[in-house]
Chains A and B, each alone.
Chain A
Amino acid sequence: MTIVPILVLALGTFAFRFGGTLLRDRITLSPRVRDLLATGAIVLLVALVATSTLTKGHAFAGWSLPAGVAVGGLLAWRKAPFVVVVVAAAATTALLRLAGVA
């Protein structure tokens, strides 16, 4: 890979980031639209959770990954500290893989 595709990807990505924050400042949003944008961000984040938990590429990710995320999610729901959520999710998935679960 050469420097040109890296720069194009970097500039394009920065344009998305910067453009979003700039637009937020330039346009006056009604509370209704502001609420919709916040909901939109939550929708995107939940979709990221769903796809990165259940899929790898175009296919099902296997059981060990969703199992680890479920353990982490359950702990978060029971108000466990963040570190515990992170370590428990990774450890569950790692141990299941060690045991031969896909």
Chain B
Amino acid sequence: MRSIWRTLDPGLWRGVLAIAAAAAVNGASFGAIAVAAGNPLWVPVAMSVLVFAGGSQYMAVGVVASGGSPIAAVIGGLVLNARHLPFGLAIGDVVGKSLPARLVGSHLLVDESVAFAMAQKDPERAKAAYWACGGSLFVAWNLGVFGGALAGSLVSDPNALGLDAVFPAVMLALVLPALKEAGKLRPALLGAAIALATTPFLPPGVPVLLALLGLVAVPRRTGTPETTDATGVTA
């Protein structure tokens, strides 16, 4: 088996490391916020290792800090993370077949690793990109959280550094090529419109799941004759 190091070109590695650097600073901010909200050091640290889903971690800590119940925090976080199920269905192949690979690989399933994998044409590269991105983010995020929780308010506001623009910009860069493929753009735009229109009214996470309704805009058949269905091959 070829090594992940050699399968990925330097440009892709630099991209992964740039995202990891942003994740470390973001993690430091989460660690600092969690400790500032009155949690002991182990809470953000354990959460980041075990949950490893930044959005739901911010939400859970925020809900409890603002007087909400832990049950509400857990439900909110789970709704936010429900998208990982369809993500796993879509990219399950790149995770690996053996049980250890699947256990570890599933834990590394985050938005960025999915997007990196889907941006690759060849399955070998998709696998390498997935593990490189997921692994780098896991290390960077957890080191960041630990550092931030230790240092307290070292990074009080990552938004002042514009770091909240990194996540959407990276995801956009990764999905751009896929949007040129036949039958992808219209469902994506419809889904995004649905998510944006429902964001003011629905709890976080739900609008993104509702975006899947955009799949109704997938063309029934990608311009192929009837015989393709019988053979099970679509163009």
Contact = CB atoms under 8 A, between A and B. Distances in A.
Interface in B198-235: 199-201, 204, 207-209, 211-212, 214-215, 218, 229, 232-234
A49 B192 contact: yes
Given A81-B11, A89-B166, A90-B162, A23 B50 contact: no
B173 A40 contact: no
A51 B51 contact: no
* Max count, chain B CB within 10 A of own CB: residue among A18, A77, A97: A18
Contacts of B90: 20, 24, 37-38, 40-41
B32 interface: no
B88 A39 contact: no
A98 B234 CA distance: 51
Nearest to B71: A5
A50 B51 contact: no
Interface in A47-94: 47-55, 57-59, 64-65, 68-69, 71-73, 75-77, 81-83, 85-87, 89-94
A81 B15 contact: yes
Interface residues of B, number: 97
B178 A49 contact: no
B78 A58 contact: no
Contact of A17 (B107, B179, B192, B207): B107
B133 to A, nearest CB: 11
A39 B204 CA distance: 22
Interface residues of A, number: 75
Q: Is the interface of B mostly helix, strand, loop or mixed?
A: helix
A55 B84 contact: no
A93 B168 CA distance: 12
A37 B94 CA distance: 14
Given A14-B107, A35-B234, A73 B102 contact: no
B39 A18 contact: no
A31 B73 CA distance: 39
A68 B118 CA distance: 24
B155 interface: no
Interface string B49-69: 011110010001100100000
Interface of B: 11-12, 14-15, 18-19, 22, 39, 43, 46-47, 50-53, 56, 60-61, 64, 70-71, 73-74, 77-78, 81-93, 95, 97, 102-103, 105-107, 109, 111, 114-115, 118, 159-176, 178-179, 183-184, 187-189, 191-196, 199-201, 204, 207-209, 211-212, 214-215, 218, 229, 232-234
3 smallest CB-CB distances across A and B, nearest first, come from: A20-B88, A24-B92, A82-B15
